[in-house]
Amino acid sequence: MQFRDLKKQYQVLKQDMDAALTDTAASAAFIMGKPVKELEAELAAYVGVKHCVSCANGTDALTLALKTWGIGKGDAVFVPDFTFFSSAEVVSLEGATPVFVDVDKDTFNLDAADLEEKIGETVAKGELTPKVIITVDLFGLPADYPRIRKIADTYRLLILEDGAQGFGGEISGKKACGFGDISTTSFFPAKPLGCYGDGGAVFTDNDEWAALLDSYRVHGKGQFKYDNVRIGMNSRLDTLQAAVLKIKLKAFREYEVADINRAAARYTEKLQGKVKTPVVPEGYYSSWAQYTIRLDSKEQRDALQAVLKEQGIPTMVYYPTPMHDQTAYKNLKVPVGSCPVAEQLCHTVLSLPIHPYISEEDIDSVCEGILTFIAKK
Ligand SMILES: *Cc1c(COP(=O)(O)O)cnc(C)c1O
């Protein structure tokens, strides 16, 4: 059994995919070829925002946003304590300081109450200027934007939506990657919408920021490529990846998101009441980058993972370490116990195999493995 079956997906899309790959090779327009602009237009339309600027990966997408806003030394950026390292790494790379915020135990996303507390503490200390909230749509579920937007307005902060895992999610019909003042996503192969290597994109409704993003991604270009008006990056999306994504986006919107939601519903139906199943709040829609259950303790989680592994069932621990506990962030000296939920989740979460092509038989055998383990407890 595969954790995320990308080979199966290729087999389904093979005919169109092979044609797209060879067409790109034959065109020799490897950098900024026609499919790049076409994909950007399709992605912007899908999300429902004015501008999409593609780039080399999801980490660069976040960096491009921070550069566009001029975030740097002395600035505080609020980041969930339970996420992939990138979400905070980009902040430090720009010379700003990440302030870690606890998450909600049910949705795994930024806890709005703790966010307000951490903003208050930062203001009271007076060492850093609060500037940005990086929200993460973890495991495919949009963050609590109704509450976070109110807090951002109150404290005059910008929202940078890290939608690397969230592409395809929704709140009341509004699509993820449209909730931030700037939003980003990643096309790393295992993300909800993945390419055949690295890729990313930035979304915004703001014309001025879109122009800056476009400049920063190509060496801070001005009027033309050899007119350089600011220090930028080399962060373009390959034509080949854009061609791949155009085909994958079609499958994604036509059936993949619906199919993965059917798979998640089947898991929940079978596991509910036996282990803690993921919570999707009323009006929310997830694109299920992960299907993540919670166990009672680290011992139980680790034992279950070992038992499933023996049965040939791959599972993953996303994430084993809270951000504030990462070796790279020891220098921040975050007080012990400042993000208790994130710590608890790192000990108890387990992500199960899920993808749009998973069979009902596979889901059932994963569930059987879990239910047998729980019954023996
Ligand atoms: C994957 C991921 C990123 C980074 O994306 P890359 O394309 O790998 O650079 C950033 N944030 C989150 C939450 C992610 O899951």
C-alpha span between 301 and 377 (Å, rounded): 12
Share of the chain above pLDDT 90, in %: 99
Model pLDDT, residue 224: 87
C-alpha span between 218 and 235 (Å, rounded): 6
Q: Where residue 7 falls among pLDDT bands split at 50, 70, 90?
A: very high
Q: Where are the domains of the chain?
A: 6-100+108-248, 255-376
**Does domain 6-100+108-248 bear CATH number 1.10.3210.10?**
no
Do 255-376 and 6-100+108-248 have the same topology in CATH?
A: no
Model pLDDT, residue 377: 75
188 CA closest ligand 1 atom index: 7
**CATH number, domain 255-376, options 3.40.50.300, 3.90.1150.10, 3.40.50.2300, 3.30.70.260:** 3.90.1150.10
Tell me how many degrees the CA angle 104-75-188 measures, rounded to the nearest 5: 55
Which alpha helices (H) appear in 76-125, and where do they start and end?
A: 86-93, 112-125
86 CA closest ligand 1 atom index: 10
Ligand 1 center from residue 308 Cα (angstroms)? 27
Considering only CA atoms, which of 204, 189, 131, 135 is closest in space to residue 163?
135
Answer positive or negative: Cα dihedral of 47, 49, 51, 55.
negative
Ligand 1 center from residue 340 Cα (angstroms)? 24
Ligand 1 center from residue 202 Cα (angstroms)? 13
105 pLDDT higher than 90: yes
Ligand 1 center from residue 201 Cα (angstroms)? 11
Nearest CA to ligand 1 atom 14: 164
Model pLDDT, residue 225: 84
Model pLDDT, residue 206: 98
54 pLDDT higher than 90: yes
Pocket of ligand 1 (CB under 6 A): 57-59, 83-84, 86-87, 136, 162, 164-165, 186, 188, 198, 200
pTM score above 0.95 = yes
371 pLDDT higher than 80: yes
Mean pLDDT of 43-59: 98
Model pLDDT, residue 197: 98
Share of the chain above pLDDT 70, in %: 100
Model pLDDT, residue 60: 98
87 CA closest ligand 1 atom index: 11
Considering only CA atoms, which of 194, 160, 191, 365 is closest in space to residue 288?
191
C-alpha span between 214 and 233 (Å, rounded): 10
